Amino acid sequence: MQPFRERLVVKPGAGWMGMGRGAGATALGFFHILPVFLCIFPSATSPCKILKCNSEFWAATSGSHHLGTEEAPEFCTALRAYAHCTRRTARTCRGDLAYHSAVHGIDDLMVQHNCSKDGPTSQPRLRTLPPGDSQERSDSPEICHYEKSFHKHSAPPNYTHCGLFGDPHIRTFTDSFQTCKVQGAWPLIDNNYLNVQVTNTPVLPGSTATATSKLTIIFKSFQECVDQKVYQAEMDELPAAFADGSKNGGDKHGANSLKITEKVSGQHIEIQAKYIGTTIVVRQVGRYLTFAVRMPEEVVNAVEDRDNQGLYLCLRGCPLNQQIDFQTFRSSQSTEGRARRKGPSLPATPEAFTYETATAKCREKLPVEDLYFQSCVFDLLTTGDVNFMLAAYYAFEDVKMLHSNKDKLHLYERTQDLGAGNLAPSGHPQALLALLMALVCLSQCWSVFL
């Protein structure tokens, strides 16, 4: 059996299939790529429900790998239901690439399977999986179980934790803790095995307070263990399945080394990726999402080009210009008695908290005045939404479950500078400016010699 440390050099393929006249009998390969379009062209607050339509169609047809003539009417019924679903969301999906790709794909499938556009359009139903189907397998190759891939006498793997919650606050794999702006789409994790991206949007119109409204996780295809899988959650939509409607890693022998479990309907899901020793927890608290992960250091660092990984928040933290000076903010609150942040003044919040009432509220769930408690206070002051208190509480509950070092559950000192990966020199800001000027001059001189 190949040790996991040697498997790290394997470059997992995407395993996507295209749509065309040469497609297989099921002609479903096209729909593997739809979730990818959704990830590449995210729309944090879009009412377009093409992902839901796609999941329903896939769930209705994925149980059959070879469509015979006797199954063609059932497939056509599901296809017409899919087309009907896309028409219902057509107005809100105008300009959405995934939507237009789906519409063209449906037309192609209609022709390939000789489906009439007129006929039954009953909503797709979940198919009963035949015995032995990958969704029911309990056996997995040893290569698909991270901990079993270590030799008995070798040192156990070291696990790390990263979490994102609230307005938003991030705890990195190195236990740095930061409060950030990071509006828009940002990568949390980017390695050889999975990618995680979040989208943060303003909590209130005109406010600089943001929270996570969309989350996309891509599990890359890996050897005989899993097919590529995409999980996507948005505000008011926390699915208990992957984007294709499945709940495990696909059709490979080790498919059950990737599983998604619903803990609380619409509020809490957990994804176990045993083949990389990783556990992910996603919650919806109020309207917004929280994220927490437990991952081996070996997987965290499994990147092909570590120096060019860009802004990978769970590893490097937030850029300096995106960080919020929490200590200054807290000092101003204790003297002014109301919440303000750098930039435009916040509009009136649904429930106005003073520093004293915010601290009293946060003590109800977080008795230890650590950074989770301080984050709770900060969020109540900037948003006025008590759900952010629960977000901080559940974030700490996830730390207790996922962090490998129980002595480091509480953090008390906030990290306010860039992580080592961001190559930011320490010292006075003028030193940073001087370094940047020198780099610009050097690049200009080099262009002259070229």
Give the best-scoring range by mean pLDDT among 45-49, 305-309, 368-372: 368-372
Q: What is the pLDDT of residues 381-393, one digit of tens each?
A: 989 999 999 999 9
Percent of the chain with pLDDT over 90: 39
Least confident of 8-22, 129-143, 170-184, 254-268: 8-22
Q: Measuring CA to CA, how many Å separate 309 from each of 193, 303, 347?
A: 14, 8, 37
Q: What is the mean pLDDT of residues 218-222?
A: 94
CA distance 425 to 2: 41
Q: What is the pLDDT of residues 224-243, one digit of tens each?
A: 899 999 999 999 999 999 99
User: What are the beta bridge partners of residue 194?
Assistant: 219
Domain 140-316 in CATH 3.10.105.10? The answer is no
- pTM to 2 decimals? 0.62
Per-residue model confidence (pLDDT) at position 303: 82
Q: What is the pLDDT of residues 317-350, one digit of tens each?
A: 998 888 987 666 655 555 544 444 434 344 444 5
Sorted by sequence, the CB contacts under 8 Å of residue 34 that are 6+ apart come out as 50, 51, 54, 98, 101, 102, 105, 243
pLDDT at 40 over 80: no
Lookup result for tokens 């230890």: 368
Q: What tokens appear for 161 in the block? A: 């934790």
326 vs 115, more confident: 115
Beta strands in 238-339 (DSSP E): 258-264, 268-273, 278-285, 288-296
Q: What is the mean pLDDT of residues 108-129?
A: 65
Contact, 261 vs 272, CB < 8 A? yes
Least confident of 125-129, 149-153, 406-410: 125-129
Q: Is 171 buried (19+), middle (13-18) or exposed (0-12) by CB count in 10 A?
A: buried
pLDDT confidence tier of residue 136, bands split at 50, 70 and 90: very low
Q: Of 331, 313, 380, which Cα lies nearest the Cα of 177?
A: 313
Q: Of 156, 207, 184, which Cα lies nearest the Cα of 341?
A: 207
Give the best-scoring range by mean pLDDT among 130-139, 350-359, 364-373, 404-413: 364-373
pLDDT confidence tier of residue 186, bands split at 50, 70 and 90: very high
Per-residue model confidence (pLDDT) at position 118: 75
143 vs 25, more confident: 143
Q: What is the mean pLDDT of residues 399-403?
A: 95
CA distance 192 to 415: 27
